[in-house]
């Protein structure tokens, strides 16, 4: 791979442990550095959807009145406002697994029958 314009090539080593990468190297004149990365799966493993919902396959901040899966509550939750994807400190919060409610099945029609009183 060619070095992109404006970048310089550095010598670094990369180590892998499962889905985590550790990058270690030395910058001149700053000195040694190390950081780790956790790789996210290409497609999130959503599993079966909760009863009455289906997965849209999207993982993003939900819009107002949109349903999403709450990992904290362990159940579907309806968003009360648009989420921005960052917390109050400006740090990214990631996305939520968006749900779509299934169409409600048509309920059987209720038919009232008047019983004749016995004499």
Residue pLDDT, tens place only, 78-110: 999 888 888 788 877 778 889 999 876 566 778
Pair 26, 58 in one domain: no
Is 59 part of any domain?
yes
CA distance 97 to 46: 8
Residue 59 shares a structural domain with residue 35: no
3-state secondary structure of 61: coil
Lowest pLDDT segment from 31-35, 62-66, 115-119: 115-119
In a domain, residue 111? The reply is no
Is the pTM here over 0.75, yes or no?
no
Digit-coded pLDDT (tens) for 50-71: 888 999 988 889 999 999 988 8
The pLDDT of residue 84: 85
Q: Are 32 and 25 in contact (CB under 8 A)?
A: yes
| Same domain for 67 and 35 | no
Q: Is residue 33 part of a domain?
A: yes
Cβ–Cβ < 8 Å for 12, 25: yes
Looking at the 3D structure of the chain, how many domains does it have? 2
Per the domain annotation, does 16 fall within a domain?
yes
Q: Is residue 17 part of a domain?
A: yes
Domain range for 97 is: 53-101
Do 22 and 57 fall within a single domain?
Answer: no
């Amino acid at each position: 791979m060619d070095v992109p314009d404006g970048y310089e090539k550095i010598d670094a080593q990369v180590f892998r442990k499962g889905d985590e990468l550790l990058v270690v190297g030395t910058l001149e004149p700053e000195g040694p550095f190390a950081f780790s990365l956790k790789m996210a799966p290409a497609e999130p493993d959503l599993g079966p959807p909760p009863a009455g919902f289906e997965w849209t396959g999207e993982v993003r901040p939900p819009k107002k009145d949109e349903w999403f899966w709450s990992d904290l509550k362990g159940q579907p939750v309806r968003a009360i406002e648009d989420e921005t994807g960052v917390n109050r400190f400006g740090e990214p919060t990631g996305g939520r697994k968006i749900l779509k409610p299934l169409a409600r099945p048509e309920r059987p029609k209720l038919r009232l029958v008047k019983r004749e009183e016995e004499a």
